[in-house]
Amino acid sequence: MKIMNYKYYIFDVGNKCDAINFENGRVDNLESIAERAAEDHCEKSDIDTSWPIELILVDEASKEYAFQIEMEYMPEFSATQFEM
């Protein structure tokens, strides 16, 4: 498998945000790469993102691929016992 690097950017209310370098590592399918880029965006973003987002992947040849990304919510629960 060839290793490729991508950039991605997010459309925010129709405005293109700055592209962010994203080292994908091994190439899978483009949907998986877009999902990883969305995770990267979520981790790096300092503002609350409104989902779904429009994410554009840009490959090394400057070809663009558009994706609409939904954030799935998987609740996690933790319990702490307390005295009554």
* The pTM of the whole model exceeds 0.85: no
User: What range does the domain containing 26 cover?
Assistant: 3-69
In a domain, 55, yes or no: yes
d(CA 8, CA 37): 7
Is the peptide bond preceding residue 52 cis, with omega within 30 degrees of 0?
Answer: yes
Q: Which of 36, 10, 1, 2 is nearest to 22 (CA)?
A: 36
In a domain, 32, yes or no: yes
In a domain, 51, yes or no: yes
Task: Count how many domains the chain has.
Answer: 1
In a domain, 53, yes or no: yes
In a domain, 82, yes or no: no
Residue 40, number of CB atoms within 10 A of its CB: 16
Give me the tens of pLDDT residue by residue for the chain, a chain 84 residues long: 556 778 888 876 555 555 666 665 565 688 888 888 888 888 777 666 778 888 888 888 889 999 999 888 776 777 787 898
Quick one: pLDDT at residue 60? 83
Sign of the dihedral defined by the CA atoms of residues 79, 43, 4, 28, in that order: positive
